[in-house]
Every structure is written in C-alpha cells, then in structure tokens.
Chains A and B, each alone.
Chain A
Amino acid sequence: MSEEQIKNLEKQFEERIARDEKIEPKDWMPEKYRQTHIRQMSQHAHSEIIGMLPEGNWITRAPSLRRKVALLAKVQDEAGHGLYLYSATETLGISREELYEQLHTGKAKYSSIFNYPTLTWADMGAIGWLVDGAAIINQVPLCNTSYGPYSRAMIRVCKEESFHQRQGYEIMMKLANGTPEQKEMAQDALNRWWWPSLMMLGPTDDKSVHTAQSMKWKLKRKTNDELRQQFIDQTVPQADLIGLTIPDPDLKWNEERQSYDFGEINWDEFWQVVKGHGPMNKERMRARINAWECGEWVRDAAMAHAEKKQQRKQKQAV
C-alpha cells in the first residue's frame, strides 16, 4: 500500500470513530491503534488476574460464611473479567501465550495498586470500596469505547462490578460501627489504601503521555484528573457517613468549584511502585509465574486426553 493510500484509510478510520461507529476485529485499523489497544486491554486483563492475589489471601480467613461466599464470588468475577479481556485482546492478532509471556517477563504492566499487601480483614473492605470504586470510575466510560470487542467486554465487566464495591463498603461499615478495635482496623485500612487508590486513576494530566491520542480513539473520555476529582467527590461523603476520616489534612470542600480540594499526591511513590519497587511486586510475579508453571502438566494432560478421545472417536467411526 502506498503512503497516500494509508493516509486516506487513516482519515476514513478517524472519521468513522468521530461518527461513533465501532471498529471490529477484521476492519482495517492503523497499526498504532492496534498496538495501543493491545497494550491497554492486556494491561487491564493482567490487572484482573493479578488482582485476585491480594484478595485470595483472605478467602480462607473470612470472618463468616456470608463474607466468604461474597469474597469468593468477587474473586471468581475477577478471573472471568480477565478472561473476557484476554479473549477480546486476542481478536487484535496476539496469542494468549504471547500475552502471558509479556506479563511474566515484566514487559506488560498491571495496575500498581495490587503491589500493596493486604494486612487485615478490613483491607477486603477498603479494596472493594476504594479500589473497585476507582476501577468503576475508570471503566464505565470504556463501555462506549471505539473497539467493539473491548466495549462489549467492558459492558459485562461493569454490570458485574457494582456488587464488588457494595460488598466492600458493607465490610467497612460493619467494622466502623463495631468495637473500637474494629473501627481502628477500618480506619487503618482506609489510611493505607486511600492514596494508592487516588494514584490508580493515573498520572496528572500534564504528565500523562497517552491522553490526547486515547481521547481521540475514545479509549478515554475523561482525563485522569477529572476522574480523580469525581472519585474523591463521591467517596468523601461515603466515608463521613460511616464515621471514618480520609487521611488528608488538606481535604476541604470548595464552595466555588462545588468539589473537594485535596492534598499533594506522592508521585515518587507511584513511580517507584510502577518500576517494580512496591512492597509486593516480586511476590505477585512469583505467585503468578508459579501458578502458570506448576499448571503446565495439567494443561498438557488435558490436551493429551482430548487428543486421545478424538482418536478413539475416529477409530470407532471407521
């Protein structure tokens, strides 16, 4: 294809997106669109898969059967969401094995929030309330994104995720209304998860390298700073309601903006964790790679069994 032909196709492509048309797997797309989507969608899928680890840590120690079935269902959903997203990513022409390879070698990233440890039961509450809360804010606009398979996967994910946040908030509410020790545990979890949750919404707009292009492709509909403000404005009253304190001395209602002003985020910490120096980066990767490698014989055995059955069937047919 000549350069001019490509230019022409690119123009038509941008126009289709501007008209809110969806792009489907076999449609022509610019190479950069394909690569950007592979990067973002796989990062999203990896986050769902790694995201099971911090919560999986507490399934066997859930304080009641009610809490246990809910947490188990939530972690199962995360596995499901990872699978929806992996198969949507595969429609862009990358194999599942390549995607795993990128995760396991550190070439692909996952959400940094999962590199923090889950120290107490209250962390299950804080994760559901704050981490899933921030994730929902990030994800809802993606239901309308331009790439069809991603948009369809996200519609399913968003539908399932609202119970995640509610179960987390319920845990926090119960603890906050419990004994002084329980309330302290809830406050401690909020203290530890608040700032990393704000970081989850991404670097500030002036530092975000992908924003402009992603807005054009509808991979993003609001900037990181807008999403973060939305998250803060909706979460602060929820904390007030259950008598917990947001760990930010600079947090203040701004009458003029009709929004909360908030303190400085420690971006050094964010970049340290992104670069692999968070408290749990090594442990998360170790657990993930271990699960993949120790499962290899099971995958091979299943394949061998399937082939054997197939051969038996063919023999009988003769």
Chain B
Amino acid sequence: MSTKNWPLWEIFVRSKNGLEHRHFGSLHAADAEMALENARDVYTRRNEGVSIWVVESKHITASNPENNGELFEPAQDKVYRHPTFYDLPDEVKHM
C-alpha cells in the first residue's frame, strides 16, 4: 500500500472565451501540473474547454448549509433591490 495518496483537486473549465470558468468535477493528481494534464484528459475530450483552473480541494472553504438561514434569508425580504418594486407611469415604456 502506498504511504501517500494523491490529493484531490477541483477542476474548473472555461468552455469558450467570454464565459466564466465553471466547476466540472474533481480528480486526483500528485501536483498541480499533473492535475492540469489529467483534467484535460478527463474533462475536455470533446472540445469542452479553452482554459482550465485546478485548485487543491483542501484550499476551498465552503459555507455550511446549516447556516443558510442567516446567510441567505436576509436577502429574501429586500424587494426594493429589484426594479419591479418601483412604480412608474405607464407612459414610460423602457427604464
């Protein structure tokens, strides 16, 4: 049995210029370079990408769904942040 296993990497791919990198999945690799090479083979066999980011999974800090209430609920009652909250005369067609 190996003493050290390859760490896990998260893979982000930009499918074409003009679009953001999007999370595609993860894979194991010994280092960042190998993660890039493996990501190319695993996630872009059919021209799915023009650019790849790899981040070792342990460096990602994620919010906890248990805190979703305090994190996201405050935005729910702030209707005044949306354009439809404001009254305009019908004559104003576009604003």
Chain A: residues with CB nearer than 8 A to chain B? 24, 26-28, 73, 76-77, 80, 83-84, 87-88, 90, 95-97, 152-153, 160, 296, 299-300, 302-303, 305-306, 309-310
In the complex, which residues of chain A have a beta carbon less than 8 angstroms from the beta carbon of B6?
299, 302-303
A310 touches B31 (CB 8 A): yes
**Pick from B26, B45, B64: contact of A87, CB under 8 Å:** B26
Q: How far is the CA of A95 from the CA of B4 in the complex (A)?
A: 13
- Helix, strand, loop or mixed for chain A's interface? helix
Q: Judging by beta carbons under 8 Å apart, are B2 and A83 in contact?
A: no
Q: Min CB distance, B61 to chain A, in Å?
A: 12
Complex contact A88–B25 (CB within 8 A): yes
Nearest CB of chain A from residue B76's CB, rounded to whole Å: 17
The 8 closest A-B pairs by CB, nearest first: A306-B31, A302-B30, A306-B30, A87-B26, A303-B30, A303-B4, A27-B65, A83-B42
Judging by beta carbons under 8 Å apart, are A303 and B2 in contact? yes
Name the contact of A300 in the complex, choosing from B4, B8, B42, B64 (C-beta under 8 A): B4
Kindly identify, within residues 1 to 49 of chain B, every residue whose CB is under 8 Å from any CB belonging to chain A: 1-6, 8, 25-28, 30-31, 34, 41-43, 45-46
A97 to B34, CA, bound (A): 19
Asked whether B75 is an interface residue with its Cβ less than 8 Å from the other chain, the reply is no
B41 to chain A: which residues have CB within 8 Å? 76, 80
**A24 and B65 contacting across the interface, CB-CB below 8 Å:** yes
Whether B8 and A302, one on each chain, are in contact in the complex, defined by CB atoms closer than 8 angstroms, is no
B39 to chain A, nearest CB (A): 10
Cβ distance A192 to chain B, nearest Cβ, rounded Å? 30
Give the number of A-B contacts (CB < 8 Å): 57
The chain B residue with its CB closest to the CB of A84 is B25
B92 within 8 A of A: no
A-B contact pairs, 15 of them (CB 8 A): A28-B66, A76-B45, A77-B45, A83-B27, A83-B42, A87-B25, A88-B25, A96-B5, A97-B5, A153-B25, A296-B2, A300-B2, A300-B3, A300-B4, A302-B31
Residue of A nearest to B34 (CB): A302
User: Is the pair B65, A26 in contact by a Cβ cutoff of 8 Å?
Assistant: yes
CA distance A87 to B28 in the complex (A): 9
Interface pair A305/B26, CB less than 8 Å apart? no
Q: When chains A and B are docked, how far (Å) is the Cα of A73 from the Cα of B41? A: 11
Task: Output the residue of A152, A160, A305, A306 with the most chain B CB within 10 A.
Answer: A306
With a cutoff of 8 Å between Cβ atoms, the chain A residues found around residue B27 in the complex are 83, 87
CA distance A310 to B26 in the complex (A): 22
B57 CB → nearest A CB, Å: 9
Q: How far is the CA of A305 from the CA of B62 in the complex (A)?
A: 30
Residues of B within 8 A of A97 (CB): 5
A27 and B62 alpha carbons, distance in the complex (Å): 12
- Give the chain B neighbours of A306 by CB distance below 8 A: 30-31, 34
Taking CB atoms, residues of chain A closer than 8 Å to B4 are 300, 303
